[in-house]
Amino acid sequence: MLVARAAAAVAPIEQMALYEPPFLVDDSRPPIAGDFLPRLEALLADGRRSEAMRQAFAEGMGMPRVAVAVMRRLPVWRRLERVANTMPYDWTLLANDHHGRPLRAREWTSATAPGIVFSGSKSPAQLRSAARALAEVLPRAEHREVAGQGHNPSNKVLAAAVAESFAPAARPVRFGAAVRVA
């Protein structure tokens, strides 16, 4: 999202390839609570990094609590705890676009770099909706669905989709259109 925001701030970006912006633009799940960020910051101030990550995943991202409980038992959880202090920056960036409302087109009109906003066909509805919504408000972007992929796509499959999308011989980008990538 930093690239898309930078493009909207008229940074010299030539092309954008974005995957599943973490917005909530519809009613696919409940919006975050108004006190989400202050509670997250309080947990971190108290040194409760694991609880902060649990809140970010369960409340912020809408992951089922059982999935978060399983993640907490995996080796990756320790790495997540080490970067928990960066979560308030992420949520500050997302705050206005995580309440179940459509994106505000006027905020994106300056982002004139051509772009592809990808989503995985197996990803949660929230992320697929967000990808389509961002492609609609970016003046020169289109949405493409990557078949068989979820929120954590295969690097090989995603790299091939990006390379195909930006290859010089690629068909012209049809802005506003949705394309399924095999």
> Is residue 180 pLDDT above 60, yes or no?
no
Helices (H) and strands (E) in the chain, counts: 8, 4
Tokens 């917005």 sit at which residue? Answer: 23
Report how far residue 83's alpha carbon sits from residue 49's, in angstroms, rounded to the nearest whole number: 9
pLDDT in tens, 7-26: 999 999 999 999 999 999 99
Neighbouring CB atoms inside 10 A of 110's CB total: 13
Mean pLDDT on 135-145: 96
pLDDT in tens, 74-128: 999 999 999 999 999 989 988 788 889 999 999 999 999 999 999 999 999 999 9
Write down the pTM of the prediction.
0.83
Stretch(es) of the chain classified as CATH 3.40.50.1820: 2-27+101-181
Mean pLDDT on 143-171: 89
CATH number at 2-27+101-181: 3.40.50.1820
